[in-house]
Amino acid sequence: MKSIRSAAGISTLGVGIACLLSGCGGSTNSTSFANLKAYDAVSNGGTAAVSSTGASTASLTAFTQSAYVHASAGLESASFTLTGPPSIASPTYPVSLNSGVYYTAIVMGRADVASSDARYPKLVVVGDDQTSPSSTDCRIRVVQAAPDAGTVDVLVNGLNTSPNTAYGTVTSYSELAAGSETIQVRTSGTSTFIVPSTLFATLAGHRYTIYVTEPTVGSPTYSFQVVQDS
């Protein structure tokens, strides 16, 4: 099995934006708009929708992803809504979106806590690296979207590809041989696995995101959701 390469994390800033995105992330082209998709990682928020200047995604149920929509490029404002109950309309988040670049806006958190709680729903926007893997490989990144899980390690085929991954962090893509992958999630620095060994299949030439999620927020149990990015 080919070893995994490159799993450096992208830490979020205080307002919940992964970076100001003035050059981080996906490939560019000559178009005059950015490309924005959304993922709803809030299990108890009803449906979610993300808006940016000139764009709004379709409503999403928990643990689903939208198609890309065209958004205005430049220094823009992004926000999200959750239907609840309770319904939530977020403040706006400043994001710098480059023409032709691809981005994912991730709504994460818990809708059943006060707005002063660090676990209250927030928006994390990250550039999507469009680099294709080699013909026999796939590329995988990790999003730690489970607010009660703390800092975790994500192991792929026994290798700790995403060590010390804090809530709200999106890692860069790692490249590995495509096929049957074994995923485990543990509390960082321990042997306590919050998600036991689970298999999923990958296809050569594709990119994937693993979302560490919190499906049962009343008494947290954890899982991961795999989304094919390309």
pLDDT given at position 218: 75
pLDDT at 29 over 90: no
User: In terms of Cα–Cα distance, which of 57, 63, 68, 32 is closest to 45?
Assistant: 63
Q: Please determine, for residue 22, whether its predicted confidence score (pLDDT) is greater than 70.
A: no
The confidence score (pLDDT) of residue 216 equals 79
Identify the pLDDT of residue 31.
Answer: 67
Q: Is the pLDDT of residue 28 over 80?
A: no
Could you read off the pLDDT of 188-229 as tens digits, one per residue? 989 999 999 999 999 999 999 999 999 877 778 999 999 999
| pLDDT of 219 | 78
Task: State residue 52's pLDDT score.
Answer: 96
Question: Does position 80 have pLDDT exceeding 80, yes or no?
Answer: yes
Between strands 170-171 and 174-177, the pairing is unpaired
Round the average pLDDT of the chain to a whole number and report it.
Answer: 88
Q: Dump pLDDT digits (tens) for 121-175.
A: 999 999 999 999 999 999 999 999 999 999 999 999 999 989 999 999 999 999 9
- For the purposes of burial, counting CB atoms within 10 Å of the CB of 179, is it exposed (0-12), middle (13-18) or buried (19 or more)? middle
